[in-house]
Structure formats: structure tokens, C-alpha cells
Amino acid sequence: MAKGAAPCDAVAFDRGRIVAVGSRAEVMAAVGVADVVELDGRAVVPGFIDVHHHMCSAALLLHAVPCGPARVRSHDELVHRLAEAARGLPDGAWLVGSDYDAQRLPDGRHPTREHLDAACADRPVLLFHYSHHEVVAGSLALRAAGIDRNSPDPPGGVIERDRRGTPTGQLIETAMGRCAALAEASLVEHHAGDFAASIAAHAARLFASGITRIHDPIVNPTMERLYAEARASGQLRIPIVTSPLAPGGFMEASPERLDGAPTGEGDDAIRIGQLKIVLDGGERCAM
């Protein structure tokens, strides 16, 4: 792509660095013996770095119930889909759904705790909005998080309520923190053994899109441990920079995390980035 240069037929790498570019004969003469990958005329381009990519969350949510617009077009379909998924869950596991979009549902109405209770009344149910800045919780999930009609809105969050003041199940920003942490803990408890394989599968999709390095901006101590285990098993193939955060989530102050490894520590596989603390933000932030 250099101005005035002819197209090049070959490129040589040595330990991650480009060492020769030119015709096939020129490159082979420059490097001597080498492993050759034939590209059949395809182009080699730099890899993309995704600087805000929630890979550990994506790996966990491979085990959640997809409830996006491609699969759910009404509240009845949502209830049916969650009810079907609940039948195969182990005892004690939360039923977790992901990616619902109220704007793509009839009248733009959010689901409520009544919808989730109708789908599954005997276990906690949590449904993540596609933005991951709000959720809908069933009655048992609200109870597990200690949320009822007497609960005040936390700073930076909203507990949506009906006309009688009863929570509808919709929790926005900091109000979702406890429910989200409990749902994540349940997914980890029942799928930690699958995490490394899920990371590898997700990384394969990133590579296919040309993404070759990421920054994961939400990595709590549990996710740090799972990343380390995935690396030890050889299944963490994409380099990551992590933003540590408190065990309770990115909406909590986390001074104890300042005692951890400093920013910049690590190697090319896993490197510690900045501490993540959310100071403010727009209501219903969407990604």
C-alpha cells in the first residue's frame, strides 16, 4: 500500500515482527528456511485492536438464553423461550437470558417480573438488556438481591415501580448490580469448566473478523482466575489487556483493587490495564 510501490507477493515474520516484504523470491532469499503459509492471492492486513470488548462476559453468556430480536418478537415468545430453557437447568441454577431489546417488542414495552415469573416461578430469573446497563429480574431474583417496595433507588440507579410502588423487575444501572453479580456467580458455578473452551470459541469469531487483540474493560477477580486457567490450558489464544474491578461489579467503588498488580504488569498474553470505576454516565447507556 506504499505510494508508488508495486504489489508484494510475500511477507516474512520472525517472532511477531515483519522482517521482509517483496516478491516471493526476494523474501525467501532474505529469510532462508521458513514455514510457508500459502494465501492463494488473499491480502494480509494489520489486525484490529478492539479497545472495549467484554470477552469474559461474552464467554459466560454463551450459556445464557439468547432473547434478542432475531429470536424473540413478542412477550409471549419471550416467556415460552425462557420456560423451555428452564427445563434443562440443574438444581439451584439461575435462569439467565440476554440481549432483549424493548424497542423491538410490541409497543416498545419492557418485560416485567410477571413475564419472568410466568416463564419460571421456582428459580431466580434475570434477563439482560442488550446494553448490559439494565436488566429485568423475576420475583425470586429480586428477593435474592434484597429488593422490595421499601428499597430506595441507589445512587446512579433506578428501581422501576408500578403505580402502587411495587418494583416491576426492571433495574437500571447501579440498581442491577447485586442481581447481575448473583447471576454471574451462578453461571460461573455451573459453567466454569466450560469457560476456557468458550473463550477459544469466541476468540475464533474475533479472528475471523480481523480482531487480533482486545481490551476487556470488566474483569473482576473471578474472571481474572478463569482467564489465567484458560491461558494455562492453552485456550487463551488472543492477547488481552484487562481492566480490574471490584468483586461486586463496575458500579461499585473498588479501593481494595488498588492493592493488586499495577497497571502494565504482565506479558503479551495478559497485561493489567487501568482500574475501572464508573463515576457517572447517561441513563440507559447503549453499546
Weakly modelled stretches of the chain, pLDDT under 50: 286-287
283 within domain boundaries = no
Which residue, among 149, 199, 215, 144, has the nearest Cα to 177 in the 3D structure?
Answer: 144
Cβ atoms of 128 and 96 within 8 Å: the answer is yes
Q: How many domains does the chain have?
A: 3
pLDDT for position 143: 98
Between CA 186 and CA 250 the distance in angstroms is 18
172 within domain boundaries = yes
Between CA 125 and CA 139 the distance in angstroms is 8
285 within domain boundaries = no
Between CA 132 and CA 112 the distance in angstroms is 16
Per-position DSSP letters for 55-120, written without gaps between them: HHHHHHHTTSEE-STTT--SHHHHHHHHHHHHTTPPTT--EEEEEE-GGGSGGGPPP-HHHHHHH-
Which of 134, 158, 186 terminates a domain? The answer is 186
pLDDT for position 287: 32
287 within domain boundaries = no
**Which residue type occupies 20?**
A
Regarding whether 131 and 67 lie in a shared domain, the answer is yes
- pLDDT tens digits, 99-124: 999 999 988 999 999 999 999 999 99
Regarding whether 68 and 91 lie in a shared domain, the answer is yes
Regarding whether 234 and 124 lie in a shared domain, the answer is no
Cell for 249?
461489579
DSSP helix, strand, coil percent of the chain (3-state; round to 5): 35, 20, 45
Regarding whether 223 and 106 lie in a shared domain, the answer is no
170 within domain boundaries = yes
Cell for 138?
423475576
246 within domain boundaries = yes
Regarding whether 75 and 178 lie in a shared domain, the answer is yes
CB hemisphere CA count around 246 (13 angstroms) = 13
CATH code of the domain containing 120 = 3.10.310.70
Between CA 26 and CA 101 the distance in angstroms is 55
Alpha helices in the chain (DSSP H): 24-31, 55-61, 75-86, 113-119, 139-144, 177-191, 195-208, 221-232
Regarding whether 217 and 148 lie in a shared domain, the answer is no
Regarding whether 227 and 165 lie in a shared domain, the answer is no
Regarding whether 215 and 254 lie in a shared domain, the answer is yes
121 within domain boundaries = yes
Which of 141, 163, 186 terminates a domain? The answer is 186
Regarding whether 182 and 212 lie in a shared domain, the answer is no
Q: What are phi and psi of 69, to 5 degrees?
A: -60, -25
Regarding whether 167 and 216 lie in a shared domain, the answer is no
5 within domain boundaries = no
The domain of 161 spans: 57-186
Between CA 287 and CA 281 the distance in angstroms is 13
Regarding whether 96 and 19 lie in a shared domain, the answer is no
Regarding whether 173 and 264 lie in a shared domain, the answer is no
